[in-house]
């Protein structure tokens, strides 16, 4: 038994003691990470370099890609390094940093997905007021608010998580996930962390309810469109976004709200991988493959890089 002053590091989940399987884990995570980084960097570069995409929808999409990129970069490289070096250790300060930055990116990610639903609602249901409501100044203020709220929420949540004494340092997950870290506390949930969890659950579910209500209005408006092409275009931008939001909220709630077991669970690992890695990987595919403007911009970026290498 030892308290937080004696904890100098934590032990993350070891996928396997077999060296070959450790290399397999490293290879799989490396491919996932490279796919996520490549896809999101292409989105960021395409929106930043193509002036035709300097609109609110693509501005929010670029910020979503930045959040996705940060989210996976906080947790995946350390897990890969541990498998490659056959170790499980993460410093105490590294675990604190993982909790803070992962919370910041994932909460900001969810807020941006909510903002994107509102953006689609205004564009489809009130197109004549779109430029006035979603102006450039409004976009800047919204994103600034998202980042500030993410920092505050992550900071308070991190303080609540580590303001306790730990009776173990074994984290049964491939990164410092809050439920797994809180389980190590000698005294269980402290009042600050309990209030943080309650607030987080209400805000998350509140955003999801808002997204659902928003899309009910959107689909009602879309069904009234006389043009089949117009309906198809509206669905092509709305349905993928709704799928991403549903996957995110379902797997995230299961990972955070289900009782934490004392032994590593394959089901917990699967849900954690889904909500932490799958949305950042799918977002670039969903928003680029079904969007002609993004595909054109990505083609320009790739052609520019190709010609630059051959000069």
At 82, list the tokens.
């541990």
**CATH assignment of 4-310, among 1.20.1070.10, 1.20.810.10, 2.40.30.10, 1.10.3720.10:** 1.20.1070.10
Q: What residues in the chain have per-residue pLDDT under 70?
A: 1-6, 188, 229-230, 233-237, 255, 259-264, 288-291, 304-311
- For residue 193, the model assigns a pLDDT of 72
Residue 146 confidence (pLDDT) = 94
- Give whole-number Cα distances, 225 to 130, 146, 215, 229, 250, in Å: 18, 33, 15, 9, 31
* pLDDT score recorded for residue 2: 43
Predicted TM-score (pTM) of this structure: 0.87
State how far the Cα of 88 lies from the Cα of 15, in Å rounded to an integer.
10
Which 3-state string (H, E, C) describes 126-162?
Answer: CHHHHHHHCCHHHHHHHHHHHHHHHHHHHHHHHHHHH
How many angstroms separate the CA atoms of 296 and 293, rounded?
5
Give the pLDDT score at 1.
38
Structural domain boundaries in the chain: 4-310
């Amino acid at each position: 038994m030892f308290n937080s002053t004696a904890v100098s590091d934590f032990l993350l989940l070891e996928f396997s003691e077999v060296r070959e399987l450790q290399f397999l884990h490293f290879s799989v995570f490396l491919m996932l990470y490279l796919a996520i980084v490549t896809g999101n960097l292409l989105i960021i570069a395409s929106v930043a370099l193509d002036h035709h995409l300097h609109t609110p929808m693509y501005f929010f999409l670029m910020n979503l890609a930045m959040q996705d990129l940060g989210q996976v970069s906080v947790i995946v490289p350390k897990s890969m390094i541990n498998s490659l070096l056959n170790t499980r250790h993460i410093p105490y300060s590294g675990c604190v940093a993982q909790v803070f930055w992962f919370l910041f990116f994932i909460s900001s990610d969810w807020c941006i997905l909510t903002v994107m639903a509102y953006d689609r609602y205004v564009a489809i249901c009130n197109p004549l007021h779109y430029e006035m409501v979603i102006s450039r100044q409004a976009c800047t203020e919204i994103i600034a608010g998202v980042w500030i709220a993410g920092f505050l929420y992550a900071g308070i949540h991190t303080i609540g998580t580590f303001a306790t004494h730990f009776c173990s340092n074994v984290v049964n997950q491939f990164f410092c996930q809050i439920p797994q870290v809180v389980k190590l506390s000698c005294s269980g949930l402290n009042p600050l962390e309990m209030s943080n969890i309650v607030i987080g659950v209400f805000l998350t579910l509140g955003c999801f309810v808002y997204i659902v209500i928003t899309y009910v209005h959107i689909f009602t408006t879309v069904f009234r469109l006389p043009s089949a092409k117009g309906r198809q275009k509206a669905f092509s931008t709305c349905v993928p976004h709704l799928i991403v939001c549903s996957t995110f909220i379902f797997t995230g709630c299961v990972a955070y709200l289900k009782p934490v077991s004392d032994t590593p669970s394959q089901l917990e690992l699967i849900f954690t991988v889904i909500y932490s890695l799958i949305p950042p990987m799918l977002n670039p595919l969903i928003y680029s493959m079904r969007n002609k403007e993004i595909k054109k911009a990505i083609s320009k970026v790739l052609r520019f890089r190709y010609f630059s290498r051959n000069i």
